[in-house]
Each structure stands twice: as structure tokens, then as C-alpha cells.
């Protein structure tokens, strides 16, 4: 597992104490969002848009943690959510991720929201809204579309300020380099 000692301690505490150790038993997803933010920082370090994602099971155990790797892998589908869902499915031993929660720093795009539906994720928790590509609430509502056969619960705005600051700083630095 990647991460700093502080994040590893957070993960260990969550795994040892079950879901209540981080989520407070009442839907507080801040701890897992912090792990996703650490993943986002890894993406930024190799030139990818800083988005991180984790998948946890119903007992609060970490199944997967990933970050964007589109630039690193040269793949248009290497979004943090897609990679984390694929890793979680391997851990589970099948494609159905029922009973899991996907926690991601940025509102999923249509591809990633569709993957959450297809994987039968119970819940999608995201930080910053994405008015240009968000597919859970901002632009589309894939996770709540009644025409689809699965509808994960959506929890928006967890760690939104931290997520947005990270993204704004990343794009500001890119614009600054483009002008030089």
C-alpha cells in the first residue's frame, strides 16, 4: 500500500476498528477522503490530474486505493475510480462490488459513474463537484438514473474544499508553465 505513515496509521485504525473507526457510524467519510487525497497527491507528482479514489467494504476495510494514471500509462481510461474499482474487484474475486463504497476526490465523470453503476457499488462519496464533467449530480445524474438497473447512493461535498484547492493549484501551475 502507498502512503505516508500517518495515512497508513489511519488505514490500520480503520481496518482494526471496523467502519465506525473512520465513518463515525453515521456517514462521516472524512477519514477515507483523506486517504483519497493522499492518492491524489501521488497523481500530481507524476503529472496527472490530482484525483484519488479508495474503495472500502461495508466493514470499513480498505479494498483498493488508486490515483489518476492517464499520463503515466498513456491510457484514457486510467482514472482513479476505474483503477480502484478494478483492484477492488480482484480483491473481492468478482466484478460485483456490492456492499462497497467508492470515495473519490472529484465527482466522477460519465465513464467512472457508469463503472460504479456497473460494478454495483452501494455508495459513491465525492469531494469537489465537477460542473464540466460531473456525472453524479453536476452535469449528469447517472447514479440516480431510473432507467438503469442499479442506483448507488451519492454523498457529495466530503472534503470538497481540500479537493478543490488541490485541483485549482494543479491547473494554475499548468497555466503558469504554458505562459513561460
Sequential DSSP letters for 73-133: HT-TT--HHHHHHHHHHHHHTSS--TTEEEEEEE---HHHHHHHHHTT-SEEEEEE--TTT
Residue 33 CA to residue 51 CA, distance in Å, equals: 11
**Catalytic pick among 38, 39, 81, 107:** 81
Q: Is 81 annotated as catalytic? A: yes
Active site residues: 81
Amino acid at each position: 500500500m502507498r502512503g505516508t505513515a500517518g495515512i497508513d496509521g489511519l488505514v490500520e485504525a480503520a481496518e482494526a476498528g471496523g467502519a465506525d473507526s473512520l465513518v463515525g457510524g453515521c456517514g462521516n467519510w472524512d477519514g477515507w477522503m483523506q486517504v483519497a487525497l493522499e492518492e491524489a497527491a501521488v497523481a500530481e507528482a507524476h503529472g496527472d490530474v490530482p484525483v484519488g479514489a479508495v474503495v472500502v467494504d461495508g466493514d470499513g476495510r480498505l479494498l483498493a486505493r488508486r490515483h489518476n494514471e492517464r499520463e503515466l500509462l498513456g491510457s484514457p481510461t486510467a482514472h482513479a475510480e476505474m483503477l480502484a474499482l478494478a483492484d477492488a474487484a480482484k480483491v473481492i474475486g468478482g466484478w460485483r462490488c456490492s456492499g462497497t463504497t467508492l470515495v473519490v476526490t472529484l465527482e466522477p465523470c460519465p465513464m467512472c459513474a457508469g463503472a460504479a453503476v456497473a460494478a454495483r457499488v452501494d455508495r459513491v462519496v465525492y469531494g469537489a463537484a465537477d460542473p464540466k464533467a460531473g456525472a453524479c449530480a453536476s452535469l449528469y445524474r447517472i447514479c440516480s438514473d431510473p432507467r438503469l438497473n442499479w442506483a448507488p447512493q451519492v454523498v457529495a461535498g466530503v472534503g470538497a474544499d481540500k479537493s478543490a484547492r488541490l485541483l485549482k493549484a494543479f491547473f494554475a501551475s499548468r497555466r503558469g508553465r504554458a505562459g513561460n
